[in-house]
Structure 1
Amino acid sequence: MEDIKQGSILVLKKGHPCGENKWEIIRFGAVCKLKCLGCEREVLMNRMDLKKRIKKVLSNEEIN
């Protein structure tokens, strides 16, 4: 798995109901806190479920 840490931007396999599928990691531990970059809603997800749902970790060039 790529280097996942706090502040990373992820693309998940399934999008959020607001239409966005990019998420920022706010807290990364046993339970991870993610913020939707579309509507800014925050969700909690355990690390194992998060790793299964990741499609791509965006680099700094891909974010802009």
Structure 2
Amino acid sequence: MDIHVNDILKMKKPHPCGSGEWLVLRVGMDFKMRCQGCGHEVMLPRSKAEKNIKKVFRDGQPVENL
């Protein structure tokens, strides 16, 4: 899966604050992401993050061909 820094990820399950969108801050073996609702930052293993991604937005447009 081709994820870049500053992509917005729409996840399958929402964050407890109610937002389901996350800003990618760092990629590698782990993803560092910031919740777009409350600003909470988390690091997730790549495998777990990729499994939970519903849609990817780059520059405000949905990314096709993941």
TM-score computed with the length of structure 1 as normaliser: 0.87
Structure 2 gap ranges (5+)? none
Aligned to 2:53: 54
* CA deviation after TM superposition for structure 1 residue 36, in Å: 0.1
* Bigger fraction of residues in helix: 1
Q: In 2, Cα distance between the equivalents of 1:15 and 1:62? A: 20
Identity of counterpart residues, as a percentage? 42
TM-score computed with the length of structure 2 as normaliser: 0.84
Runs of 4+ with deviation above 6 angstroms: none
The residue correspondences of 1:23-42 to structure 2 (distance < 5 A) are 23-42=22-41
Give RMSD over aligned pairs. Answer: 1.5
Structure 1 gap ranges (5+)? none
The total of aligned residue pairs comes to: 62
